[in-house]
């Protein structure tokens, strides 16, 4: 089965071809530089850029893989949650292509695709605890299978990625700042008392990261010298010159620790309630973070008790963690194999709304 995946839910235009669970090729156009001047994604610019890039990217993917449009059996497209205009751009393109190629169409839940992405590189195991950390979401799932996932916890306000990006913005780092904080965090030991690990004083599996952002803002107000010069000011772009153990590196390490350790506590709590799970799956853009990967790998190792009979730690390689077309193609193929499909009336789902399980019977 040859499945084309299309990802346009935010500011990456990603297309990929997967055949029988194997990635044949992928193309990715990031819009980061377009949005950087605004310090965040501008939805109207994002949709227009997806529209401009989709067809040339498809041409490039076909040339790269030697495939033809008529070879495609399934067109899988991210249908949400995401920016509605961006989603609709990708979905209109996918619908036209599916109709023209006589292929099946499937609208893929973007979050589900993140959680399944590691399956391109290693075998997935179910049931699993899914830890999804991205720019828009911080969710825990009990993953029964590739198609069936039960949400156990969510963020009540900001997502972990938002906390990284908003603090990075306060420090005048380039957008999106998560990966820069990751890099600087490796230059110092965290001060574990500097920032609170938010929303742990309860028994639930939800998160809240907005207070952490405020704690960093208060610290920066007291220490304005920590902020890098703004774009255009002398000394701007000095991020790469940050020395080891500098106060700025300590702030980055301490913020990273507060986020990583909060995720650790809730993941351990979830595992203690789920003796049946066989794997811990870490996914989403923030899963590329060095400290979080190390901390979650340790959680999985420590949960490998005799009673549990092993617990695999599964996470995509860092390049597959952030938005891409490969994860949509892979998830789409898995779902298509289970007999799921959509009609041309499948809808885009904006952020904040649940993605419905409204699959049609797979014809034929």
Residues that bind ligand KG4 (CB under 6 A): 10, 134-136, 161, 164-165, 176, 178-179, 182, 284-286, 288-289, 322-323
What would you measure as the largest C-alpha separation in the chain, in angstroms?
66
Residue 165 lies near Zn ion (rule: CB under 5 A): no
Please say which residue, 11 or 323, places its beta carbon nearer to Zn ion: 323
Residue 11 lies near Zn ion (rule: CB under 5 A): no
Among ligand KG4, Zn ion, none, what binds residue 161 when CB lies within 5 to 8 Å by partner kind?
ligand KG4
User: Angle formed by the axes of helices 178-185 and 290-302, to 10°?
Assistant: 70
Token pair belonging to 354: 């649940």
The residue with its CB nearest to ligand KG4 is: 285
Task: Tell the smallest beta-carbon distance from residue 284 to Zn ion (Å).
Answer: 6
Among Zn ion, ligand KG4, none, what binds residue 107 when CB lies within 5 to 8 Å by partner kind?
none
d(CA 292, CA 253): 11
Residue 333 lies near Zn ion (rule: CB under 5 A): no
Only one of the segments 49-57, 69-77, 126-134, 287-295 lies at the binding site for Zn ion (rule: CB under 5 A); that segment is: 126-134
d(CA 316, CA 120): 8
Q: Which sign, positive or negative, has the C-alpha torsion 262, 266, 271, 272?
A: positive
Please say which residue, 163 or 270, places its beta carbon nearer to ligand KG4: 163
3-state helix/strand/coil string of 73-138: CEEEEEEECECHHHHHHHHHHHHHHHHHHCCEEEEEEHHHHHHHHHHHCCCCCCCEEEEEECCCCE
Only one of the segments 65-73, 129-137, 167-175, 231-239 lies at the binding site for Zn ion (rule: CB under 5 A); that segment is: 129-137
For Cα atoms 6, 107, 112, give the angle at the middle one, nearest 5 degrees. 85
Please say which residue, 125 or 186, places its beta carbon nearer to ligand KG4: 186
Among ligand KG4, Zn ion, none, what binds residue 286 when CB lies within 5 to 8 Å by partner kind?
ligand KG4
**What contacts 71, CB < 8 A, 6 or more positions away?**
2
CA-nearest of 288, 261, 257, 143 to 200 is 261
Task: Tell the smallest beta-carbon distance from residue 24 to ligand KG4 (Å).
Answer: 22
Q: Can you tell me which of 49, 158, 323, 333 binds Zn ion, judged by CB under 5 A?
A: 323
Query: Where are the strands (E) in 226-323, listed by range?
Result: 279-283, 312-314
Among Zn ion, ligand KG4, none, what binds residue 26 when CB lies within 5 to 8 Å by partner kind?
none
Q: Which residue has the tokens 């639930």?
A: 204
Among Zn ion, ligand KG4, none, what binds residue 182 when CB lies within 5 to 8 Å by partner kind?
ligand KG4
Residue 182 lies near Zn ion (rule: CB under 5 A): no
Name the site residues for Zn ion (rule: CB under 5 A).
134, 323
């Amino acid at each position: 089965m040859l499945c084309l995946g299309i990802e346009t839910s935010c500011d990456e235009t990603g297309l990929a071809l997967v055949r029988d669970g194997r990635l044949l090729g992928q193309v990715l156009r990031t819009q980061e530089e377009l949005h950087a001047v605004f310090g965040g994604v501008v939805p109207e610019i994002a949709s227009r850029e997806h529209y401009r890039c989709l067809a040339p990217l498809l041409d490039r993917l076909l040339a790269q893989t030697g495939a033809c449009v008529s070879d495609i059996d399934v067109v899988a497209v991210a249908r949400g949650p995401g920016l509605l205009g961006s989603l609709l751009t990708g979905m209109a393109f996918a619908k036209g292509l599916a109709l023209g190629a006589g292929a099946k169409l499937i609208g893929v839940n973007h979050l589900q695709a993140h959680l399944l992405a590691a399956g391109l590189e290693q075998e997935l195991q179910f049931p699993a605890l899914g830890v999804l950390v991205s720019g828009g979401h911080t969710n825990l799932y009990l993953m029964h299978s590739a198609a069936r996932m039960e949400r156990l916890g969510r963020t009540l306000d900001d997502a972990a990625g938002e906390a990284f990006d908003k603090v990075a913005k306060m420090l005048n780092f380039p957008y999106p700042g998560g990966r820069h904080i990751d890099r600087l965090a490796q230059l110092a030991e965290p001060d574990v008392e500097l920032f609170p690990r938010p929303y742990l004083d309860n028994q639930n599996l939800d998160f809240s990261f907005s207070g952490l952002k405020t704690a960093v803002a208060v610290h920066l107000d007291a220490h304005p010298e920590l902020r890098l010069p703004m774009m255009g000011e002398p000394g701007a772009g000095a991020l790469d010159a940050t020395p080891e153990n500098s106060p700025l590196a300590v702030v980055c390490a301490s913020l990273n620790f507060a986020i990583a350790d909060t995720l650790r506590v809730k993941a351990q709590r979830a595992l203690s309630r789920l003796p049946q799970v066989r794997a811990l799956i870490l996914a989403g853009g923030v899963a590329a973070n060095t400290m979080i990967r190390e901390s979650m790998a340790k959680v999985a190792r420590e949960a490998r008790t005799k009673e549990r009979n092993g617990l695999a730690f599964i996470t995509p390689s860092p390049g597959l963690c952030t938005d891409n077309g490969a994860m949509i193609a892979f998830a789409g193929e898995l779902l298509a194999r289970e007999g799921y499909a959509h009609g041309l009336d499948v809808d885009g789902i904006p952020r904040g709304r649940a993605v419905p399980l409204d699959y049609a019977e797979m014809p034929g």
